[in-house]
Structure 1
Amino acid sequence: MLSRDEVPEIMTPAHVKEVLGIGRRQVYELVGNPPFPVVKVGKLYKISKQSFFKWLDEGQG
């Protein structure tokens, strides 16, 4: 699992998977449901590290 310090400023679903210790399908369920902080760029999902950890710390979802 990745620590907060190891995560890049712009995360991918693979980073979310590593941080949360969940499966690929579960990650894509998260990115498809607000209020999860994600931006879609073409076919790629990008997640701000700051927004992700704010979402996680606040217990959203």
Structure 2
Amino acid sequence: MTRTEELLPPVLSPADIQKFLGIGQRQVYELLNSEDFHAARVGRRLFVSRAVFIEWLEGRSEDKEVKRRR
């Protein structure tokens, strides 16, 4: 497990992401509603797995998208 992963819970809430990235609530929800993330919706609440977040943070999610387009 990397240092970044140690700082994060297994499932991230918007508040966790906001605190970790140091961005505003609006930016968090724009990010969660973008196609860059697979966010799970439970009722009106959104959650992201730590693995998905780390992949996005490290740019690995973009690599998968580029491969899918080819």
TM band (smaller chain) = 0.7 to 0.9
TM-score, scaled to structure 1: 0.83
- Residue type of the partner of 1:31? L
How well do the aligned residues superpose, as a CA RMSD in angstroms? 1.5
How far is the alpha carbon of 1:36 from its aligned partner?
1.6
Q: 1:56 and 1:36 mapped to 2: Cα distance?
A: 11
Which consecutive unaligned segments of at least 5 residues does structure 1 have?
none
2:28 equivalent to 1:27:
yes
CA contact (8 A) 1:9 1:48 kept: yes
CA contact (8 A) 1:39 1:46 kept: yes
Q: Which has the higher helix share?
A: 2
Structure index of larger Rg = 2
How far is the alpha carbon of 1:7 from its aligned partner?
1.2
Match of residue 54 from structure 1: 55
